[in-house]
Amino acid sequence: HTIARTLADGNGFTQSIRWHFSPDAPVVQSAAAERPPLFPALVGLIWKLGGRLATIDTLNLLLGSLGVLLLFLLYEKAIGTKLAFLAALLPALNPSIARTCVFPWTEALFLVLQSGALFLLIKMEYDKTQQSAETPLPATLPVLAGLLASAAYLARPNALALIAAASFLFLCRKQWRSLLLFLLPCMVALLPWFLYVWVQKGNPLYSVQGHHARVAYITDGMAAGWGANIPTAGEFFRTGHPLQLMARNAWDYLIEILSFNPLTPAGFQHLGLASLGLLGLWLLRKQPGALLLALCGALHFALIALTWSTHEGDRLTQPAIVCLAPLAVAGLYAAITWIVTVAKVAPSRESGFARQFGAVLTVLLIGTTLIFQIRYLYMQHQFIPRAYPARPLPPATFQAQFDAAIPADAIIATADPFSLNWSYNRPTLFFPDRLTTENAEQFFTQYHVSHLAVTPQQLNRIESLIQMGKITKMPYHLPDGLLWCKVQPQKQ
């Protein structure tokens, strides 16, 4: 949102929030590689045209609905109309996907672009089966698929898995023309972005390497990151630690799936999708799109394990769920069909056992999914008001009072940089966990901090600075209960 607002205000692709301390950078900085540009550009246009937050939310809901429709169309090519309808219900009713389509986040836009690219790629395979081997496919399909895939990358970096999966299959099948036509628009669309990142960050691969892989968990790079010894991207990749990180994250993620983590969408749903998806892949291995969906889903999991240090499974695994859903439904249908067939042709004793086994299996699968879905919805109902408090823009009178108390060029170190930045349009950064009386002046000088908005516990850690006159309490309060202080100018 903050990037979109700076775009709408004519201040370029910049951000004014530091939500992590790796790598080191000023509070107001270029947003290159920190956030993909497509969604901020879209939201910035809406702000520029006079739109409101409700306009953005409505657009996201429409994008999510369009994404599910595209999923149904591509599933239909892979598994047929009846099963495609059931498969499309998995993402359509998934609480995590629904949540990200309500908030103004990037997932809904990515869902549309990813689904559109997958649909065109699967349509290419489907059309190939309907034509003779000598008949070339229209060049428009791989070109459009490449454009949508590159646009998806500019919405969320997860699209690297889609580009890699499609390119690998073109290569293995020796479809050189399709490979070239697919990659050419990707290069044309993405090279300018990589050049822009190179100019802004001094490294064209900054956005690929990212800062997430260089800390134990993302939270370690946030409030706990200041003062920590966090290696640069080059140092990290030269150590060979990425392979260790990948193995550790894969194990941690497996444990997370099997646990009752309130943020894991439907818990066993991922495990069920993966296991039934393997069965579906084996049965559909010659069907158009089956290998592409399986490989794309697997690469999405691998990409999370390598580039993200926390799984945040409810959001980051959405692309994998979307890819595995039709294969899982096909696998489940095959399993139930096999059980029914055995029940019909087997002797009465075995027939009765098969019917009972089929009934128990079906009840367990449906019942487990419903229980986890209901539990997940309940936990989200409890969790969202705390983690994502409503951030409506304040009334004009209250904003005027804030503007009078806090200068426009103020830089605020706070326990909640997201809400303050969004609601009151001020540069913000995390109040560090390691901040003490001894190193406070270094922090204030490094980031030009002018104000604090902190909890009473955080203020107690630097209480002596008040007695020394280096910070002064302000008679200003927000409804969130944070305490405000003004930082006295530091000697350079």
Q: What is the pLDDT of residue 302?
A: 65
- Please say if the pLDDT value at position 1 is more than 90: no
What crossing angle do the helices spanning 159-172 and 176-201 adopt, rounded to 10°?
150
SS3 content of the chain, % helix, strand, coil (to 5): 65, 5, 30
Amino acid letter, residue 434: R
Where residue 150 falls among pLDDT bands split at 50, 70, 90?
very high
By three-state DSSP, how is residue 10 classified?
Answer: coil
The continuous run of DSSP H or E covering 17 comes out as strand 17-18
- Tell me what the mean pLDDT of segment 293-299 comes to: 84
pLDDT band at 250; cut points 50, 70, 90: low
Residue 371 three-state SS: helix
In angstroms, rounded to a whole number, what is the distance separating the alpha carbons of residues 11 and 104?
21
Per-residue confidence at 267, pLDDT binned at 50, 70, 90? very low
pLDDT tens digits for range 16-65: 888 888 767 788 888 877 778 899 999 989 988 888 778 888 888 899 99
Q: What is the mean pLDDT of the chain?
A: 78
Residue 154 amino acid letter: L
Whether the predicted pLDDT of 390 surpasses 70: no
* Mean pLDDT of all residues in 107-122: 94
Tell me which of 469 and 257 has the higher pLDDT: 469
* pLDDT tens profile 125-141: 888 877 766 677 788 99
Peptide bond into 479 cis (omega under 30): no
Burial 16-52 (b: 16+ CB within 10 A, else e): bbbbbbbeebebbbbbbbbbbbbbbebbbebbeeeee
CA–CA separation, 489 and 491 (whole Å): 7
Distance CA 193, CA 32 (A): 9
How many residues does this entry show for the chain? Answer: 492
Q: Quick check: 35 and 17 in contact, CB under 8 A? A: no
- CA dist 158 and 434 (Å) reads 33
Q: Pick from 207, 224, 206: which is nearest to 215 by CA?
A: 224
Q: Which of 166, 212, 158, 169 is nearest to 321 (CA)?
A: 158
Q: What average pLDDT does range 54-78 have in this prediction?
A: 89
